[in-house]
Amino acid sequence: MTRTKAIIIPVTPFQQNCTLVWCEATKRAAVIDPGGDLQDVERAIAKAKVTVDKIWLTHGHVDHVAGATELKARRKAAIEGPHRDDLFLLQYVVESAGAVGIANAANVTPDRWLEDGDRVQVGELTFDVLHCPGHSPGSVVYFNPAERLAIVGDVLFAGSIGRTDFLGGDHRQLLDSIRDKLLPLGDDVAIISGHGPTTTIGRERATNPFLQ
Ligand SMILES: [Zn+2]
Ligand SMILES: [Zn+2]
């Protein structure tokens, strides 16, 4: 029986996959990438009957983080991640939100920056932190080895990879991150991406046109 539960809540005009992850044993939860539409996130939290302890950010783009500061205030949850190299993006949230139609945005000051090899915890669950720059300099991936689950933000998508034409993006670095950090996790690992459907490492290794 799985000890991890997850619900995906698409938020913002970008249909960003905000993900509520919780430990079934303790009902303690983390909200990953609360980019906005907090009423929808709150509805999922209430339905799951969980207590939110943590807010985890995969990277600093506005559609992933614009609701984090407000959710922290409401839930008294600690913001962890991304890597410090996305600081410039977290300070630019309010300025960029208006232009893309995201309401109630706030800049973000994480309670904890994450480094490659760090671990984050919620309830009895532990996720390994993988620093995967390329889409943004400070992108991180959250990987639960026991549950074979990785939450990858905009590093890797079903059939595609993250854009690298934003400030701080680097296509070669992104491919290196995917090859060196994600593919070795194993073909059986389930992937929740920042946008679009879920997939697996194995499916992307075999069919993703950017990885052939
Ligand atoms: Zn992004
Ligand atoms: Zn995104």
Amino acid at 129: V
Q: What is the pLDDT of residue 147?
A: 94
What local confidence, expressed as pLDDT, does residue 2 receive? 64
Kindly report, residue by residue over 38-83, the tens digit of the pLDDT: 999 999 999 999 999 999 999 999 999 999 999 999 999 999 999 9
Task: Please tell me the predicted confidence (pLDDT) of residue 113.
Answer: 98
For residue 155, the ligand closest to its alpha carbon is 1
The Cα angle at residue 146 between residues 140 and 147, in degrees rounded to 5: 75
The closest alpha carbon to 191, from 164, 153, 160, belongs to 153
Task: Give the pLDDT confidence of 155-181 residue by residue, as tens digits.
Answer: 999 999 999 999 999 999 999 999 999
Name the 3-class secondary structure at 146. Answer: coil
Which residue has tokens 């996130």? 41
Angle subtended by helix axes 68-75 and 38-48, to nearest 10: 40
SS3 for 27? coil
Ligand lying nearest the CA atom of residue 35 = 2
Give the full edge-to-edge strand order of the sheet including 78-80.
Answer: 4-11, 16-23, 28-32, 51-56, 78-80
Helix/strand/coil percentages in the chain, nearest 5: 30, 30, 40
Distance 60 CA to ligand 1 centre (A): 7
Domain parsing of the chain, residue ranges: 4-211
CATH 3.90.550.10 given to domain 4-211: no
Instruction: Report the alpha-carbon distance of residue 210 to residue 212 in Å, rounded.
Output: 6
Strands 156-157 and 199-200: unpaired
* The two three-digit tokens of residue 111, written as one number: 């309670």
CA of 86 to the centre of ligand 1 (A): 11
Q: The pTM is what?
A: 0.97
Q: Tell me the ligand closest to 162's alpha carbon.
A: 1
pLDDT score recorded for residue 1:
44
Ligand 1 midpoint to CA 154 (Å): 5
